[in-house]
Structure 1
Amino acid sequence: MSQAAFQLTTQRGDFRVAIDGDPAAPALILSNSLGTTLEMWAPQVAALSGRHRLIRYDTRGHGGSSVTPGPYSFDDLGQDALAVLDALQVEQAAFCGISMGGHTGLWLGVHAGQRFDAIAVCNSAAKIGNEQAWRERAAMVRIGGAAGMQELANSAPGRWFTEGFVSANPEVVRRAQHGIARIDPEGYAACCEALATSDLRASLGKILTPTLLLAGENDPVTTVADAQAMQAGISGAQLATVPASHLSNLEVPQAFNQAVLDFLAST
């Protein structure tokens, strides 16, 4: 069973949500990366909704979800994910997020682990990038507006994909660029500020939920070493690598889907 994306009213505002799969199947919620929307998960829908009630949503500030003034924090973004589940009356779920969405998963593991059977943290880190760079990017898009977002879109392929993928898959790359160019500048900047201030390295030991750390072997943003550092901090965490850069779910969808499905089956 699949349905078009719709507006879901929660205690924390309105979020654009899409649900696929059997309503009676175990729930799996997917959280997008910075500068993308729930459409980023298109290559996962058929594979993951076969066994799960698949819930995708646009993160605050992105797509059709509420764009509230920043700065945001991961307290905000984590509570948003819980609010989506609450509004759908989902008590227990598995979670999978990429980059910013993966960091949201870490926050949920630390602060609301009892709500989750399993958490897949993909192409992410306990501390992503450095504070100054994020604040500079937030300022750039606030000042530049739509033109600033277009500038980010122009430079995104080098951060998101390997060179070989960019040259071989221009349509996928173009769609990703088109998506980031349309993100609201304030929503994007406010999420940059959440990334600037969040550091979960000292809290990883609090995560007791079964956790997968999935890394792209060619990811310059959140590296395999970042995943290994998280594995050292999270008891029993599994580590998987795939031959991709930062948006591994788009670059190697079959390998990504298999790694996530194998992990979920093991829990």
Structure 2
Amino acid sequence: MNILDIGDIHLHWREDGDPAGAPVVFANSLGTDFRMWDRLIPLLPQGLRLIRYDKRGHGLSSCPPGPYAMGALVRDAERLCEALNVRDCVFVGLSVGGLIAQGLAVKRLDLVRAMVLSNTAAKIGTAQMWADRIATIRENGLEAIADAMMERWFSKPFRQTVEMQGWRAMLARQPVEGYCGVAAAIAGTDFITPTSGLTLPTLAIAGSEDGATPADLVRETSDLIRGARFHLIRGAGHLPPVEKPEEYADVLTGFLTSIGHV
């Protein structure tokens, strides 16, 4: 277990692959921990330095009192990269992880040479939508939204598998304070203008069955970035590295190869 002290909080992180390889940093979605990438990591090319972490309020990282600001989530990623001596990484962010990717790229282009915006957008939902969800969770717990989230996260066939129950349990067991803290950060974030100024190599990935960040929303964000590529994974919901890890690995590997990262 790797726990990093970055000042105000501790981050739980893991490294796979070659410690001397080109770095790829993964940031996962609201309500999950870094096990979200478990099925993907073994499918990626040898020789890469693969780093993933639990954002604040999730997994085994610290859970300070909320609400959190997106700036704090970006700063956590920045401090993680600095502490691990990561430069010129490809930052792969899914959902809120994609917002973190955009914020970090705007702030620190010396840390990020390319990004993968997966099942995300420059602005996700409305402030009222998030306020309503936070109120429901604070009153009734994460169990109250778990079934609805599974419908957004996964395609119908996957929801009928035993494996889906594990992901439902992961969501329900996240700290309420951490989930609501990150939800508040998403509610207050609109990166449309800063993201539209980015020019670094970018791959956007969407799932055809995504009920949280529909494919059209992901495509709109990719269109903000000059030269960004877009790929639709059919039959996948909000977490395609879980449902379609082979296709996700192929698409990600192709992007990494095309920019000379492998």
RMSD: 1.4
2:5 to 9, 21, 28: 9
Are 1:103 and 2:99 counterparts? yes
214, 219, 226: which one aligns with 2:217:
226
- The answer as to 2:166 corresponding to 1:166 is no
Distance 2:8 2:46 in 1: 30
| 1:93 corresponding residue in structure 2 | 89
1:266 to 2:258 alignment: yes
Residue from 149, 164, 179 that aligns with 1:156 = 149
Bigger shift: 174-183 or 199-208?
199-208
Supply the distance in 2 between the matched residues of 1:48 and 1:81 (Cα, whole angstroms).
22
Partner of 1:239: 230
Quote the residue 1:44 is aligned against.
40
Letter in 2 for 1:78: V
Tell me whether 1:250 sits opposite 2:242 in the alignment.
Answer: yes
* Cα distance per residue 1:5-45 (max 9 Å; x no partner): 32111234210011111111111110010000011110111
Matched with 2:29 is 33
Shift of 1:152: 2.2
2:109 corresponds to which residue?
A: 113
1:171 shift after superposition = 2.5
User: Displacement, 1:142?
Assistant: 2.3
Structure 1 counterpart of 2:68: 72
Rounded Cα–Cα distance in structure 2 between residues aligned with 1:226 and 1:138? 22
Determine helix, strand or coil for the equivalent of 1:18: strand
Native 8 Å contact 1:121 1:213 kept in 2: yes
For residue 180 of structure 1, the aligned residue among 153, 159, 171 is 171
CA contact (8 A) 1:19 1:54 kept: yes
Matching residue's letter, 2:240 = S
Task: Kindly indicate whether the alpha-carbon contact (under 8 Å) linking 2:143 and 2:172 is maintained by their aligned counterparts in 1.
Answer: yes
Q: More deviation in 27-36 or 90-99?
A: 90-99
> 1:220 Cα shift?
2.3
1:199 is matched with: 190
Q: TM-score, normalised by structure 1?
A: 0.92
- TM-score by length of structure 2 reads 0.94
1:142-184 CA deviation, whole Å, 9 max, x = no partner?
Answer: 233xxx11222233210101112212xx232111111011111
Question: 2:3 is paired with a residue of what secondary structure?
Answer: strand
1:84 offset after TM fit, Å?
0.8
SS of aligned partner of 1:35:
coil
Quote the residue 1:127 is aligned against. 123
Name the amino acid aligned to 2:157.
G
Cα distance, 1:227 vs structure 2: 2.1
How far the C-alpha of 1:211 sits from its partner, in A, is 0.8
**Are residues 23 and 49 of structure 1, via their aligned partners in 2, closer, same or farther at CA, if it must alter by over 3 Å?**
farther
State percent identity of aligned pairs: 34
Give the Cα–Cα distance (whole angstroms) in 2 for the partners of residues 138 and 50 of structure 1: 41
4+ runs deviating over 3 angstroms: none
Going from structure 1 to structure 2, the CA distance change for 1:129 and 1:110 (only over 3 Å counts) comes to same
Give the residue type in structure 1 aligned to 2:18: D
- Indicate the larger mover: 68-77 or 150-159: 150-159
Q: Which amino acid aligns with 2:119?
A: N
